[in-house]
Structure 1
Amino acid sequence: MTKDSNVARPLRQKVIGILGGMSNQATGEYYRMLNERLNSRLGGWDNGEIIIVSVNFGNIEYFVRQNLWAEAHSYLLEKVERLERAGADVIACVSNTMHRVVEPIMATRQTPFFHIADPTADAIRKAGLRKVGLLGTMSVMQSDALRQRYSQRYGIELVAPSDADKQIVDRVIFDELVRGDLRDTSKREYLRIVAGLRADGAEGVILGCTEIFLLIGQSDLPNFPVFDTTELHVDALVDFACSTSVP
């Protein structure tokens, strides 16, 4: 794809499928960021061709809090099938937490799936880091599968907050961030928790929930590398859309 004003119309491009609604805050940011980056690449009035299947977050919150992962699998399987029927050339889940369900669903399908941990781990490795802190929902911070993915595939050790601080991080995500409720008190708590991870030997921190970047970011931690899974995931999707030819 180029910025050539003489390109044949309609411009043929890869269709990005977004499994969204987890939460609507993150989904809106994905749509905005994808189109901004694609327009920057393509120029003019061009942006992305994007299909969004947005789920009811109330269902997701219930499944996660009750550990009903089989029910979540059945619920999201039908949504993935909708994306495929609609013509998605690649599928991305906008929730770190729900990768626990979506990854095994996509493992049996032919449509490419971009796991959110992979571009994040690539960025950490490029930065030369081996031990990083992890913020996310309770499920993400306690995930042995995620810890093994980072360790076995990329040689990266994850450091999680204390149990008490995990509760704070999780509560802020579910009770505030998914509602777009950004509080200075919560920001201070998150920055305190990151300082604790740094004291425990972390060389950087992963914002392992797609809403956390709304609260804290690299500008709040100028001397400590921050790896925003949302931004890195979006960048990987844009690279795919722009570098892969359409048959």
Structure 2
Amino acid sequence: MHAVILAGGKGTRLMPYTTCVPKPLVPIGDQYSILEIVLHQLSHYGFRSVTLAIGHMGQLIRAFVGDGSRWDLSVNYLQESTPLGTIGPLLGALDSLPEHFLVMNGDVLTDLNYAKVLRQHQASGAPVTVATYAREVRSEFGVLDVEEGEITHFREKPVFDFTVSMGIYGFSKSTLELYPAGQPFGFDDLVLDLLARNQHPANFHFSGYWLDIGRPDDYDRANAEFVSQMPQLLPGLDSAVTDKTQAASNAALYSN
């Protein structure tokens, strides 16, 4: 099983934490970076190869991860010279990818079993499978319905339910071969085009632990919850092996 991790963004929403390090390397719980947790999880769930799509401060990610052998993974790199969106970086590298593979953002903290997403995708025949999560958004205001100058309904601080993408996808190479390489192309562009052609993506609903660490509030929550969530986020953890891996990772980073 192969995974592509999108780690090329500038992380501007997470400033000032991302001033000196790329977002996938910000520490969680003062022990592990987000990317380190993700690589541990992928290895635990049976993935053996990873492509890291890097751009902004990509040299730090290369120094930290290396060839991936510390996680029993084979890691190669896809360097972005200009931002190409979520899907754009993949379009020029399809020859190096298997027919079915996982794609995920490099700033996701979850206890999702990634292998289940990819296996469901392989079995479904869908053009793409999207891992989804139910979220509630609470309005800070009373909401009014107005028709022809009159208020017809009033709701005090209502709660709206949404299904959102987790930033984790199962892809088939044959789906992406339809699109030209070398130009910006986002996940939103892909989904809108698939829907317009009546090719519906499949849904993989998840109700466990998930945080998209895009804002300082999310990052603070991740740090506050890490100790309680650590057994789920780092399955099969061997503290002695992990301490050794942590020391090797830090040495690689700071020697560069």
- Structure-1-length-normalised TM-score: 0.35
Larger radius of gyration: 2
- Structure-2-length-normalised TM-score: 0.34
Bigger fraction of residues in strand: 2
Bigger fraction of residues in helix: 1
